[in-house]
Structure 1
């Protein structure tokens, strides 16, 4: 990691720390390190490892990408930048520490959450989604491009 990236990461850490009203010592205490070491990270004197960035994010209660920010964007490739640009408001973009950027659709997010439920939770989730489909405010309109299924792919026509 070059010095410019270290400084950007350090600046992001400093910005988050100050926004939360934490001193160097208070943040260091949350992380189990000295306040002077926190200061060295903030000034870019010390090069943070990914594990350290994770610890800062946890201590500051922010997503790691909020700390990585511009520094991360400088190292990802054009394909990953395209995935970020193409994400719609329901698509979540996940940045992995391997450097991979993945777009996760609303349907994939829903299935991911659903898979974490037990049988009773799955029953309740299905009931709640069915309830939402009966509320006009949440119903998809004919001209609404949201959702992957087109009129010819509706369950009634598949049967």
Structure 2
């Protein structure tokens, strides 16, 4: 399955929302929502994913301030890739993941309204399109002429 720009943008948004949720109250709920939406149904797998999420949360909490922005990006990218893999395994998961994003934005973004605007750009191919949702903008375009 080819990964569409829409799926890529959705995954990036979920990764960013997940990192935001790591700093919010209700983190346990966010982990459970994430596991459910990405199709992790086996209890052992849920625990493994939960442990990995908690390890990333701990890394972020203990990071030096100067390293925090790049570490947040790294963690968000890692979980974004997990979302993409989930959609590749089961394309119908995209709807559940959109619902997850909506819930996470409602639940956790209000607690952290001072988050900086995140822009992610990827250039390849020959087309150019921009997908902007909320305060995040995703550019998918060409660096070739």
- TM-score of the two chains, using structure 2 as the length reference: 0.31
- For normalisation by structure 1, the TM-score amounts to 0.29
Q: Which has the higher contact order (CA 8 A, sep 6+)?
A: 2
Larger Rg: 1
